[in-house]
Structure 1
Amino acid sequence: MSDRKCWIDHSGIVLHSVDGFDVIHCESCGFKHIIPIPDEEELERIYKHEYHIKDKPLMLQHQLEDADWHEATNKARLESIEKQLKRKGSILDIGSGNGFFLKQAVDMGWQVKGVEPSDKAVDYCNSIGLDVIHGVFDQKCADSIGKFDVVHLWEVLEHLPDPIGMLSLCREVLNPGGLIVIGVPNDYNRLQKIMSENFDEKPWWLAPPHHINFFNRSSLEKLVRRIGFEPLHYEISFPMELFLLMGKNYLNEPELGRECHAMRKELELNLTRSGNRDVLDKLYNCFAEAGFGRHAVLMAGKKD
């Protein structure tokens, strides 16, 4: 029988314990997260100065190497957003990183603004002419930043001590009929469980304190409904765990990881460039129905 733990007003069955943290399926939040939840000030310090230098020193280099792939994937996401919104408009990108999504949005005729805590990433965004605020998206920022048709959060919610509060702030800055777009790692999925339970691989997707929360389609949809959004569209990205099951164990070999990523890029770019993006979409829809996919992408409309 698994242990049940409580921390402040969070409680649930312990799924894993790592580096002094327990992962629980929280009964009050409705999704999985670590306890204790890290202090906001400490996290702000990490993401303002250390994340792009100490933890992800090659992020920009790899993004530049993958520029054609980022262009294709961001273009496809923006087309999907436009289909749901039924027009182009204004986008606020929270946690905009080095600005590749915003740059693609500008090129496609969207009005854009970003918020990013990393000073290094903001410097790069500004160097390529993007309007990105250096800081965190908090109540003060929300009160001053204006209104938008779309709020985009890519790889943000998993890092936050209060994702519910973040989504509430996002709702405040959305125009009536606006759209929120959330991309998070699809963790505790079936392929990860197979590798962990059947092949004795440690749960590599656990990375506290950087990753605090763990979502899937069901928990994301429940969460956004709780805040006053209606789920409209769901997508996934390529299930990278398939490479592990094919004998390409990249977990402790960064270079092998890049090789696997390169194969995934070739699949997506070859189908996109040849005019067969619909084949890729159908394939990924099948993965999504099975619960697979490295990232879960949910688009939800603001309920007025």
Structure 2
Amino acid sequence: MNHPLKKNPRYGFLQIDPTPSPEEISRYYAQEFYAASYQGLNDSGLQAIDRDRDFYEGHYDDLLETIVELSGQPSVGLKLLDVGCGWCQALARWQSRGVVGHGFDPAPEAIAHGAKAGLMVKQAGMDRMDVFGERFDAVTLLNVLEHLADPEAVVCEIREKVIRPGGVLVIDVPNEFNTFQTAGQVVHGLPEWWVAPPAHLNYFSGTTLTALLEGNGFSVRVLEASFPLEMFLLMGDRYVGDAELGRACHLKRVAFEAILRAQGKTKEMRDYYRALAGLNLGRQVVAFAVAQ
């Protein structure tokens, strides 16, 4: 099913048009997204993370390494807020590295899981970012911004009320309508499966995410993609709608990263992902931006 999209006139990212009402969005999350403990939508569920823990923790370590580089602060004592922290796996990993982590999420089960692990977390909706009433050295939104009705307002509030001057904002979003994705769609005669309201309301690339951040008081210092999963479509693996094949493709990218990390080639891998981001390729794109 095709859904009408409009281009944001200032920053160029695509948005569902018309935007679902707050009531529609709330109903969806209450009845479907959180009820399924996230697992029907993506791999951010607790079981998925536990199953591939080394893969996800490698990503969390990469994020923290770049935050430390850009902030000029060590990880020990670094005050961080994870917006939409989900099952708190990133927070738990960062806390083990000395980070003073805080997080909030609308899902009560996820927050209860984090609180049981001794993390500073709160159950709260996404209608405001200033949940803790204080400023942070770093703020992360991992697979969050694509879900929010007004991403510009969120970025502005973080800049004005949540992050300290010189603090590092990290936004990780799906990199949609990229060339590998759209070419694979055509080859296999697929619909635009990634257009999925009311879950995903915004569709970014590295270019448009940079425009949004730099238009609202941030300087983007690093763009980094993730493994270009859609390459499997171009090599004949029609994984869309096929959970078993999708899992097999995912495990190949897990192996790709695990082998490089084991051989001490993490820097070269990340350089490759940063080069991909410059071409607007890769399954995800992460922007590391410093508050001005």
Q: Is the 8 A contact 2:223 2:278 kept in 1?
A: no
- Cα 1:245/1:64, change in 2 over 3 Å: same
Q: Between Structure 1 and Structure 2, how many residues are aligned?
A: 284
- Cα 1:109/1:197, change in 2 over 3 Å: same
Instruction: Give 1:54's aligned amino acid.
Output: A
TM-score w.r.t. length of structure 2 = 0.91
Instruction: Give 2:20's aligned amino acid.
Output: P
What is the aligned-residue identity percentage? Answer: 33
* Large movers: runs of 4+ above 6 Å: none
**Deviation of 1:28 (Å):** 4.7
Query: Residue 19 of structure 2 corresponds to which residue in structure 1?
Result: 37
- Cα 1:55/1:252, change in 2 over 3 Å: farther
Query: Residue 288 of structure 1 corresponds to which residue in structure 2?
Result: 277
More strand by share: 1
Structure 2: state its 5+ residue gaps.
Answer: none
**Deviation of 1:90 (Å):** 0.7
Q: Is the 8 A contact 1:48 1:119 kept in 2?
A: no
Instruction: Give 1:135's aligned amino acid.
Output: A
Q: Is the 8 A contact 1:47 1:117 kept in 2?
A: no
1:161 aligned to which of 145, 149, 154: 149
**Deviation of 1:239 (Å):** 0.7
Higher alpha-carbon deviation: 275-284 or 228-237: 275-284
Q: Deviations over 1:31-51 (max 9, x none)?
A: 201111012243234335631
**Deviation of 1:233 (Å):** 0.8
**Deviation of 1:84 (Å):** 1.1
Distance 2:119 2:132 in 1: 19
Query: Residue 25 of structure 1 corresponds to which residue in structure 2?
Result: 7
Query: Residue 247 of structure 1 corresponds to which residue in structure 2?
Result: 236
- Cα 1:281/1:29, change in 2 over 3 Å: closer
Tell whether 2:120 aligns with 1:131: yes
**Deviation of 1:201 (Å):** 2.1
Higher alpha-carbon deviation: 114-123 or 156-165: 114-123
Query: Residue 60 of structure 2 corresponds to which residue in structure 1?
Result: 74
Q: Deviations over 1:132-186 (max 9, x none)?
A: 11012444x6164311011100111100111111111111211121111100000
1:297 aligned to which of 264, 280, 286: 286
Q: Equivalences for 1:187-206 in 2 at 5 Å? A: 187-206=176-195
- Cα 1:142/1:49, change in 2 over 3 Å: farther
1:177 aligned to which of 122, 143, 166: 166
Instruction: Give 2:153's aligned amino acid.
Output: G
Q: Is the 8 A contact 2:206 2:278 kept in 1?
A: no
- Cα 1:55/1:105, change in 2 over 3 Å: closer
Distance 2:124 2:291 in 1: 25
- Cα 1:130/1:42, change in 2 over 3 Å: farther
- Cα 1:282/1:230, change in 2 over 3 Å: closer
Distance 1:71 1:36 in 2: 37
Instruction: Determine helix, strand or coil for the equivalent of 1:222.
Output: helix
Q: Deviations over 1:90-148 (max 9, x none)?
A: 11000101111111110111111001011221122222222211012444x61643110
Distance 1:215 1:51 in 2: 21
**Deviation of 1:252 (Å):** 1.1
RMSD after superposition: 1.8
Distance 2:262 2:133 in 1: 38
Query: Residue 145 of structure 1 corresponds to which residue in structure 2?
Result: 133
Q: Deviations over 1:216-254 (max 9, x none)?
A: 111111111121111111101001101111111111111
Distance 2:65 2:97 in 1: 9
- Cα 1:135/1:49, change in 2 over 3 Å: farther
Instruction: Give 2:291's aligned amino acid.
Output: K
Q: Is the 8 A contact 2:220 2:287 kept in 1?
A: yes
Greater RCO (Cα-Cα under 8 Å, separation 6 or more): 2
Distance 2:13 2:205 in 1: 9
- Cα 1:124/1:49, change in 2 over 3 Å: farther
